[in-house]
Chain A
Amino acid sequence: MSRSNTELKAGDKVSIQKPADNGKFTDAGQVLVKKELGRGAQGIVYQVEYEGKDYALKWYFYDNLKHPDAFRGNLEKNIKDGRPDNEDRFLWPQAITAAKQYPTFGYLMDLVPQGYIEFDKLYMGYEWKKPKEKGQPAVKETYRFGSLDALVTASINIVKAFRSLHGVGKSYQDLNGGGFFIDPVTGDVLVCDCDNVAPDGENFGIGGFPGYMAPEIVRGVAKPDVLTDRYSLAVVLFRLLLRADPLEGRKVLASVVLTEAKELEHYGSAPLFIFDPDDPANRPLPGGNAAKFWPILPSYMREAFTRSFTAGIKDPNQRIIEKRWQEYLIRLRSDIIHCTCGKVTYSTCFDHHEHFICTCRSCGNKIYTLQIKDMLAPLYAGLKLYRCYTEDVEDFETITGEVLPNKKDPRIYGIKNLSTKTWKAKFPDGSVREIPPGGGAPIWKGLVIDFGDKIGARVLS
């Protein structure tokens, strides 16, 4: 009997091991198999119970692993190393099954919590689920981001996760649409399939999909590493923000049939960005998502994508580093205007007849611009300031300020200090007052705020 046929069934007990203090893997009890959650070419994922809590067990088809011993060794190393930066965005391997009990092995990780959707299903907007009962039709389930803010937040979270991973000298290797989950309401991200993660430069036989994979891998001349991860990351971000593929334009569509040779050409030997400024041969079809949304995307994002898919498509070192993406995307998030009329979109969809004033095309509302550090943010009711704006840190999650109406006179809007530090601001009467945590300063044309540590903001006009 082939090893790859070893499957588990409900009720099976599988021994697992965890690293002890001396680094050696030692017995850590058993997991109880409850049910199969899904299967793919690499193996099966089971729901299991361990010490009273449910986990996921990924169980490999041994024969399909190209270098099983090296693969297991790498997995053990990842378990020992733990999550990069202690980042809880990774569904990281936590324990490995004992070597002798079964002819194959697997690893234990947390289950994906309720509400998280695989990226490629969210990208497509729906999925068809197999019928639960025989003779019944399949069930279509639709998905959608809760808000534009959640969409951009998700992209920031993805970048953050890969920055942590690359920061500890590892690469993900097989970045594709099935590799991570997104909460469409909050934009929270979970990176799964971390079993292929390997020290930069090493590879245990993981390939990938053209389209997501860097052209040099498709061509066969490179193996996955941090730089190829970076290409895949740009593809993911492009797909997320534009809901289209960066290479699927006229030239590719003219092929009609995507044979292996055509895939090699379009995604490997002669890839061409749909918005390549020097070569219009692969422009997207008119009316499609790419054609519609590209002009609306703020210019710094367009420039970043253009660089990723022109210079960066040939020269891996030209690809945008995660830190830079993070800055662009944080800026993009603050470029989303929530107008009082209900319109929510990027500031580029507002008129800019006057410098630094955005005028809503639906209701005529004028929105001033707040400059913080080197960033411009439209000042609308509900705008949130994050710690990375008001302090010299990279925390883009903790809210330190918000634009709110005054409780006593809702016609007056102000910036409320939600941080733990005392700010200073210039008031309309010319006085400079301290803004303690919980306090606020009214927004007016001459507003200047000092957040401390030489970080300031002012209203531009």
Chain B
Amino acid sequence: MIFRSLTSVKLGAALAATMTLTALPASATECIAPSNPGGGWDFTCRTIGRILSELELVDGNVQVTNMPGGVGAVTFAMVAAERADDADLIVATSTVGITQIAQGRYPAPLETMRYLAMLGADVGVIAVDNDSPIQTLAQLNEAMAADPTSLVTAGSSGAGGWDHIRLLMVAQEAGVEDLGAIRWVQFDGGTDAVTQMMGGQIDVVSTDLGEIAGFVESGDIRILAALSDEPIPAFPDVPTAVSQGVDVIGYNWRGLYTGGQVTDEQYAEWVSKLETLYNSPEWQEAATASGLVPIWRGGDTFEAFVREQAQVMEQISRDIGVIE
């Protein structure tokens, strides 16, 4: 969209000079970011697009198109209807998109698309204020199990969103039965939730680490558990939930899908290109720089992972009454 809108903004004559510099030659490969510029999906398309052409895995440049609407649903519907067999098209998605699908908020089910790979993830964390009496995940779980209504929890998603579901997965492991009784407050972003916690409005935050890392470093908040396989490289001292006996992995992964009628060969070709990209120092550096942990799951493994994740989300959404 950027480039297309650039040509359309041509009326602003003063921009013409700056535009010609960015009006790159048209290319066959296109990556759609189903959001406005600046968001996570936009980052996925721009970074992967840039590295794909730097490594010469595609001819020319990758055109990035922004198509916001319906938390990705507008793009999903368009690809399903018009470009299901277009092997030159990749679309950015993440856990957020899969949550929407699992709760039936996309026009078609998960199987409509072919899921290529995830290349990195933001790690979910459970955090409390530095002054909080709760010191460990075990203490948090005890408190929630004793009285689910005793703590106010919050994050950057609404009820039934990924931040909420990851917290409930932890609570479920801890033996909390009435998941719906846990109070959940939605904020517009992880930092909003953290600052409200510092202001004493809420007790616990469940969100991605990337956005709130600054508050951990400054000592304003304390992470009780990282929901990752391995300890986070930037904070090696923070224990994972798994190491504390709570078997929950809560990545907010970044990945790509392509149309459902793309052939097996074309699908395999994309997966192998993306694997090359994943292993390149360029991607490892770009991902780490923006707070992501590089993690690879591709091809059939990724398809299976996505389906399993959607099932867990659907089940918990049902349990807490977000969907019927």
Are A and B genuine complex partners? Answer: no
Residues of chain B whose beta carbon lies under 8 Å from any beta carbon of chain A: none
Residues of chain A whose beta carbon lies under 8 Å from any beta carbon of chain B: none
